[in-house]
Amino acid sequence: MRRYIRLPLIFLVVSLLAVLVLAAAGQHYRLFERGWFNFKTWWQPSELSIGLDQYRVAIEAQPLEGLNDDISALTFDPDRNSLFTVTNQRSELIELTLDGRVLRRIPLTGFGDPEAVEYVGPGSYVITDEREQRLIRVQLNDNTLLLDAKDAEQLTLGIGLNGNKGFEGLAYDSVGKRLFVAKERDPMLIYEVHGFPHENPEQPYAVHVVQDQKRDSRLFVRDLSSLQFDERSGHLLALSDESQLVLELDVKGKPLSSLSLRKGFQGLKQSVPQAEGIAMDDAGTIYLVSEPNLFYVFKKPTE
């Protein structure tokens, strides 16, 4: 009887230890990948890269005055020459100047848990509902005072629903008509959505969702917080809060360069706490926000 009781306990302990060892091994493997990548890019930088490692901070940890709620995501609007972010506690769409001043705040109704926003065309944006994995397209003009989800074009994907680890980032390729959607973790994935948003929502259309498993397997970061598509190079920038890193991926998903968000790198005096959103303007300047309300600008020195 005693043996019958002890054997399952021993088996349970051994199993738990095995799981911990495997998890640690996996984490060390990711760290090894990152270290090897850093060495390769230092030894032989890619000529095709936009050179994230060359960027230096121009505005560091500037508080966004008047914002007390946690902000999430960031996108650049080339028509208005401004930035947009969202808050998910008191749901709002917020417009910012390029130096981090609040221009206006627009309440959001029926958006659930808004976590990302992306410019997709003049006066047109896609906002994510993280928990329900909804993509919601909204229209905005100078007179907009409120945005209601029930009046917007919507797409629900419902892929691998996982509570608060859903759609965390968006990026749009206006030439390829692709919307990149980042799933934060467990598992960490980047979907490519074709057919949404639709140029004419009144006409029937098909939506295709594509996953690049080879690209996703190369992501040696711990999570995905935000995405940015660089139209000039065709490369994708992936922001990781937990890894404190911005990673550049080429058209085949191969990592090319990185921007560290740790103290001492890129001219930073302090590490960036909980980076949540990244955007890039037409000149290649990188903007970043972190929770609860800090604003950063990174610029590449001119030759």
Q: pLDDT digits over 184-228, tens only?
A: 887 888 999 999 988 776 666 788 998 888 888 878 789 999 999
Low-confidence ranges of the chain (pLDDT < 50): 1-7, 11-12, 14-15, 18-29, 32, 34, 36, 39-44
DSSP element (H, E) containing 8: helix 2-43
- What CATH architecture is 50-299? 6 Propeller (2.120)
Q: In this structure, what token pair is assigned to residue 187?
A: 């598992």
The reported pTM is: 0.84
SS3 52: helix
d(CA 243, CA 247): 10
Q: Which of 109, 5, 55, 37 has its CA nearest to residue 259?
A: 55
